[in-house]
């Protein structure tokens, strides 16, 4: 639990650092803070500890998810050098908010008490509302923030209602109490409050991980938010949300699988179909990435639908593979769109921005290609093994029709992922050589290498969990 304390303290420290004249120290300091928290998260490795009066539980699984979240945050922050070039930006505040949001994410990952889940979700969400609107003079950014906030509070309301109902039936917020209550022999559909409570709670979290039909906010918000925070949202929030769902469903509510399993299956299918089909029609790369993130929520849901022994491994691996590839893709988009926009022109985040990119920038082209291949699940990338493991869980559970849908949708996804690759390598464009700062470049290269290494040696991570 050290990271929670550390990150809170570091966040406050960052706000003080913001008073300094030079902003140059902020980025390295933030990276250092996250790195320290990353290291500190492994202190509890191999032990099962309850913290803070049984409010949080630290297990290897929660540490793995924490590590993924912190790694994602580290990579996103290291891509944030453009902040420092912008005169009017307040990087100290944004960095501090990111650190605070990580605290929320870690709470969602390791909660033992539903109150902590709620607090975690809220800490994370409120931080996200602010970050979405951080591009203050941009109308789209403001609109996105407001939309996100309104719909988010709506979802929070549903979720809180669900928590209240759960407390009302079982008399406890503690997961293990809920578990024994559920396993203590409840008849199907009765008490109704238990089922209703679980349903509402699920809907609340499904909203956060942008599963259909609760995903409507995602494309608008992802597109409107500054690209950097889109990357942050689509990785950190998603990982934390799925960790929370896994904790709930695989521990407390396995007893009533027959109830929620079917609902999740329906949500999974709708998510996969809607996201993949809609993504095909997008002309904006960033908006496509929003639908892509919805579709990956669908794949992750498969592992939950078929919850079993391998679901944990599958979810951890998939989250890692997805986060790394997504951040690499957004990282390339960031430099490319900034380069294309130039003086006075609006930022170009469409597919056309990538036309002919690879000719003058083979490295960026390669990084983007690997990221797209990984997201599409092509072998020799981490994404392939992620999908493979997720599909294996469903196969072991015998849910084959779901697999058929998932594989077909995966085939559809190749269309929109490969469009970028085609644009970069086969289309003509006027892209000149783009100068990428060394550290920025190293992070992108590291992400690419990680994607390929995990694609060849998946057991490096799989054997840990």
Partner 1 sequence: MQAELLCILIPLLPLLGFVANGLGFRRVPASLVGPLAVAGPVLSFLAVLSLFSNFRAGGNQPFKALLFDWISVADLHINFSFQIDQLSLIMLLVVTGVGSLIHLYSIGYMKHDEGYGKFMAFLNLFLFFMLLLVMGSNYVIMFIGWEGVGLCSYLLIGFWNTNTSYNNAARKAFVMNRIGDLGFLLGIFLIFTTFGSVEYSDVFASATGMTIGDKTVLAITLLLFVGAMGKSAQIPLYTWLPDAMAGPTPVSALIHAATMVTAGIYMVVRSNVLYTLSPLTLEIMGGIAMATALLAASIGLLQNDIKKVLAYSTVSQLGYMFLGLSVAAYTGGMFHVLTHAFFKALLFLGAGSVIHAMSDEQDIRNMGGLRKYLPITFWTFLIGTIAISGIPPFAGFFSKDEILAHVWEHNKVLWALGVLGSAMTSFYMFRLLFLTFFGEFRGTAEQKHHLHESPLTMTLPLMVLAVLSVVGGLLNVPHALGGHSALAEFMAPLYAGSQQVNPAAFGGHTMGASEELMLMGISAGVALLSAIVAYVMYVRNAAVPAPDSAERSLPAKVVYNKYYIDEFYEVLIVRPVRALGDGLYSVGEFVVDGVVGAVAWLVRTVSGQLRLVQNGSIGSYVFAMVLSLALIIALRFFINWTSVLGYLNI
Residues that bind partner 1 (CB under 8 A): 147, 150-151, 154-155, 158, 189, 192, 195-196, 199-200, 203, 207, 213-214, 216-217, 219-220, 259, 262-263, 266, 274, 277-282, 412, 415, 457, 459
| DSSP, residue by residue, 230-243 | HHHIIIIIHHHHHH
- Rounded-to-integer distance, Cα 447 and Cα 453, Å: 10
Please say which residue, 82 or 284, places its beta carbon nearer to partner 1: 284
DSSP secondary structure string, 230-284? Answer: HHHIIIIIHHHHHHHHHHIIIIISGGGHHHHHHHHHHHHHHHHHHHHHHHHT--B
CB of 387 to partner 1, least distance (A): 14
Considering the complex, what minimum distance in angstroms separates the CB of residue 49 from partner 1?
A: 31
CB 61 within 8 A of CB 312: yes
Shortest CB 86 distance to partner 1, Å: 28
Minimum distance from CB of 195 to partner 1 (Å)?
7
* Integer Cα distance of 406 and 295 in angstroms: 10
Judge if the upstream peptide bond of residue 322 is cis by omega within 30 degrees of 0: no
The answer to whether 321 and 371 are in contact (CB under 8 A) is no
Query: 95 or 214, CB closer to partner 1?
Result: 214
**Least distance in angstroms from the C-beta of 62 to partner 1:** 26
Closest distance to partner 1 from the beta carbon of 458 (Å): 9
Task: Choose between 66 and 275: whose C-beta lies nearer to partner 1.
Answer: 275
Q: How far apart are CA 266 and CA 96, in angstroms?
A: 39
Shortest distance, position 283 Cβ to partner 1, whole Å:
11
End-to-end CA distance of the chain: 18
Query: In angstroms, what is the minimal distance from the CB of 189 to partner 1?
Result: 7
Nearer to partner 1, 52 or 415 (CB): 415
The widest CA-to-CA distance across the chain, in whole angstroms, is 68
Please report where in the chains the tokens 């870690």 appear, as a residue: 106
In the bound state with partner 1, the residue whose beta carbon lies nearer, of 28 and 157, is 157
| Complex with partner 1: residue 96 or 249, whichever CB lies closer | 249
> Of 112, 4, 114, whose CA–CA distance to 49 is shortest?
112
- Residues with Cβ within 8 Å of residue 252, at least 6 apart in sequence: 175, 176, 178, 179, 182
Q: Are 199 and 146 in contact (CB under 8 A)?
A: no
Query: Which has the closest alpha carbon to 381: 394, 371, 396?
Result: 371
Residue placing its CB nearer to partner 1 in the complex, 167 or 259: 259
CB of 254 to partner 1, least distance (A): 18
Min separation Cβ 131 and partner 1, Å: 19
> Whose Cβ is closer to partner 1: residue 78's or residue 392's?
392
Question: Which residues does residue 58 pair with via DSSP β-bridges, in sequence order?
Answer: 49
**Smaller CB separation from partner 1, 2 or 151:** 151
Query: For residue 301, how far is the Cα from the chain centroid?
Result: 13
Rounded distance, CA 208 to CA 158, Å? 12
Rounded to an integer, what distance in angstroms lies between the CA atom of residue 23 and that of residue 367? 29
Closest CB to partner 1 among residues 93, 220: 220
């Amino acid at each position: 639990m050290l990271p929670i304390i550390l990150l809170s303290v570091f966040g406050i420290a960052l706000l003080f650092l913001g008073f300094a004249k030079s902003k140059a120290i902020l980025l390295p300091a933030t990276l250092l803070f996250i790195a320290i928290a990353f290291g500190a998260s492994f202190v509890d490795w191999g032990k099962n500890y309850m913290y803070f009066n049984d409010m949080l539980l630290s297990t290897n699984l929660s540490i793995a998810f924490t590590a993924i979240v912190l790694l994602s945050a580290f990579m996103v922050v290291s891509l944030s050098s453009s902040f420092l070039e912008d005169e009017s930006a307040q990087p100290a505040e944004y960095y501090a908010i990111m650190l605070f949001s990580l605290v929320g994410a870690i709470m969602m990952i390791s909660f033992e008490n539903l109150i902590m889940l709620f607090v975690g979700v809220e800490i994370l969400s409120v931080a996200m509302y602010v970050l979405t609107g951080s591009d203050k003079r941009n109308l789209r950014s403001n609109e996105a923030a407001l939309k996100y906030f309104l719909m988010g509070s709506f979802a929070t309301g549903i979720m809180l209602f669900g928590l209240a109902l759960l407390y009302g039936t079982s008399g406890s917020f503690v997961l293990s109490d809920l578990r024994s209550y559920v396993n203590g022999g409840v008849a199907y559909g009765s008490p109704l409050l238990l089922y209703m409570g679980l349903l509402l709670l699920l809907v609340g979290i499904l909203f956060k991980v942008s599963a259909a039909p609760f995903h409507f906010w995602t494309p608008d918000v992802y597109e409107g938010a500054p690209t950097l925070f889109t990357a942050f949202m689509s990785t950190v929030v998603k990982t934390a949300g799925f960790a929370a769902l896994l904790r709930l469903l695989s521990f407390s509510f396995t007893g009533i699988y027959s109830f929620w399993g079917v609902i999740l299956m329906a949500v999974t299918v709708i998510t996969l179909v809607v996201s993949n089909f809609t993504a095909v029609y997008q002309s904006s790369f960033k908006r496509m990435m929003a639908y892509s993130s919805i579709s990956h929520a669908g794949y992750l849901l498969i592992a939950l639908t078929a919850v079993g022994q391998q679901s944990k491994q599958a979810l951890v691996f998939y989250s890692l593979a997805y986060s790394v590839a997504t951040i690499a893709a957004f990282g390339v988009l960031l430099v490319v769109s900034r380069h294309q926009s130039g003086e006075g022109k609006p930022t170009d985040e469409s597919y056309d921005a990538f036309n002919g990119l690879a000719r003058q920038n083979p490295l960026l082209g390669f990084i983007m290609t690997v990221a797209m291949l990984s997201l599409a699940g092509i072998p020799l990338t981490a994404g392939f093994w992620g999908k493979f493991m997720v599909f294996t869980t469903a196969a072991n559970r015998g849910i084959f029709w779901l697999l058929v849908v998932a594989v077909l949708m995966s085939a559809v996804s190749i269309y929109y992922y490969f469009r970028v690759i085609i644009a970069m390598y086969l289309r003509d464009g006027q892209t000149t050589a783009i100068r990428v700062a060394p550290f920025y470049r190293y992070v992108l290269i590291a992400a690419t290498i990680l994607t390929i290494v995990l694609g060849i040696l998946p057991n490096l991570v799989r054997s840990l969990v």
